[in-house]
């Protein structure tokens, strides 16, 4: 049981209506790894600069995340994103993006990371995703995420990545951008037709929809009163989902459904505090209780006419 993940590890400075976090632990691969680490073993491929705080390294080690693949460029600075959310928590307002060492990042897959159960390609340039696929040996399953930027400027290369993976995790706006189709079902089916057997569409506060072969499953999101910081919710979702799936004997529709609820559970925790602060103190008992909340949330009786 192990997942090899590649993507960004960052420092995030975030302001929302609920407060501010300065240079907190962020990045897609980091959010994914922390969430998945509650379920399985994680091998992380990424890059940070010499300014990356030791406490963050200590935290990731404490969560049993293997950091052999984390390059540290002592002379460089860590990717730093500065952003804000106003009333609408669905729209991040980017104030500054300092790619720093992430701009020239060339992922290296350590030998011990090769042939993992699952390979997860978090949101990075599709060229790098292809490079990692070519160097990761033979994973049992390859899954990926992406973002609007790559659909916009490198759609053709992105499509090559999609052809090579088994599972695509993508949000609803990106489905429309990628396929030009406004209908969720038609758009997801179009992505399946590019190759992947499984497409999971993230819809933020509306939950997620799973398309696996010809079957469909709709997962609700937990209605939350205070979204303190939505950053990384999608990556946390993917981490919980893939982490649970890695525990399962095989990737079936039934296991995928439960995995999506696990992802939703982890995302629902993540937005409760800044960065990954909520997950720092999360227990397995918390996860089980929240899972039960999700069971109750969508539960209803039969009817007769």
- Chain residues binding a copy of itself by CB under 8 A are 38-39, 87-89, 182-186, 203, 205-207, 209, 216-221, 223-227, 244, 254-255, 257-258, 260-262, 284, 287-288, 291, 295, 297-305
The CB-of-220 to a copy of itself minimum distance in angstroms stands at 4
Rounded to whole angstroms, the Cα distance separating 196 from 198 reads 5
Judged by CB, which is closer to a copy of itself: 54, or 300?
A: 300
Judged by CB, which is closer to a copy of itself: 59, or 217?
A: 217
Judged by CB, which is closer to a copy of itself: 153, or 186?
A: 186
Judged by CB, which is closer to a copy of itself: 47, or 199?
A: 199
Q: Is 235:275 a contact under the CB 8 Å cutoff?
A: no
Our measurement of the distance from residue 90's CA atom to the centroid of its chain's CA atoms, rounded to an integer in Å, reads 16
The CB-of-88 to a copy of itself minimum distance in angstroms stands at 6
Region for 240 from its dihedrals, namely left if φ exceeds 0, alpha if ψ lies in -120 to 50, beta otherwise: alpha
Q: Smallest Cα–Cα separation from 120: which of 98, 100, 142, 139?
A: 142
Rounded to whole angstroms, the Cα distance separating 139 from 159 reads 20
- Take residue 151 and report the two structure tokens written for it: 């659909």
The CB-of-74 to a copy of itself minimum distance in angstroms stands at 38
The CB-of-201 to a copy of itself minimum distance in angstroms stands at 9
φ/ψ of 283, rounded to 5, equals -115, 165
The CB-of-78 to a copy of itself minimum distance in angstroms stands at 32
Judged by CB, which is closer to a copy of itself: 55, or 296?
A: 296
Rounded to whole angstroms, the Cα distance separating 81 from 97 reads 5
């Amino acid at each position: 049981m192990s997942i090899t993940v590649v993507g960004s590890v960052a420092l995030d400075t975030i302001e929302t209506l609920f407060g501010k976090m300065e240079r907190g632990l962020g990045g897609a691969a980091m959010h994914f790894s922390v969430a998945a680490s509650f379920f399985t073993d994680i091998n992380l491929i990424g890059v940070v600069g010499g300014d990356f705080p030791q406490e963050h390294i200590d935290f990731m080690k404490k969560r049993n995340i293997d950091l052999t693949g984390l390059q540290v460029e002592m002379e460089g600075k860590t990717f730093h994103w500065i952003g804000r959310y106003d009333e609408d928590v669905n729209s991040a307002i980017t104030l500054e993006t300092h790619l720093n060492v992430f701009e020239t990042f060339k992922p290296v897959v350590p030998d011990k990371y090769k042939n993992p159960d699952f390979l997860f390609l978090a949101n990075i340039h599709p060229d790098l995703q292809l490079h990692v696929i070519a160097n990761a040996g033979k994973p049992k399953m390859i899954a990926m995420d992406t973002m609007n930027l790559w659909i916009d400027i490198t759609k053709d290369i992105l499509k090559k990545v999609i052809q090579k993976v088994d599972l695509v995790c993508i949000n609803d706006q990106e489905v429309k951008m990628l396929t030009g189709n406004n209908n969720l079902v038609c758009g997801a089916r179009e992505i399946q037709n590019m190759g992947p057997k499984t497409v999971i569409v993230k819809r933020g506060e509306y939950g997620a929809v799973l398309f696996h072969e010809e079957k469909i499953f709709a997962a609700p999101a937990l209605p939350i009163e205070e979204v303190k910081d939505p950053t990384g919710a999608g990556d946390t979702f993917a981490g919980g989902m893939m982490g649970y799936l890695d525990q399962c004997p095989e990737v079936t529709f039934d296991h995928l459904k439960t995995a999506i609820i696990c992802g939703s559970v982890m995302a629902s925790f993540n937005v409760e505090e800044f960065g990954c602060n909520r997950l720092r103190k999360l227990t397995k008992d918390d996860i089980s209780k929240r899972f039960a909340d999700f069971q109750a949330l969508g539960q209803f009786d039969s009817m007769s006419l």
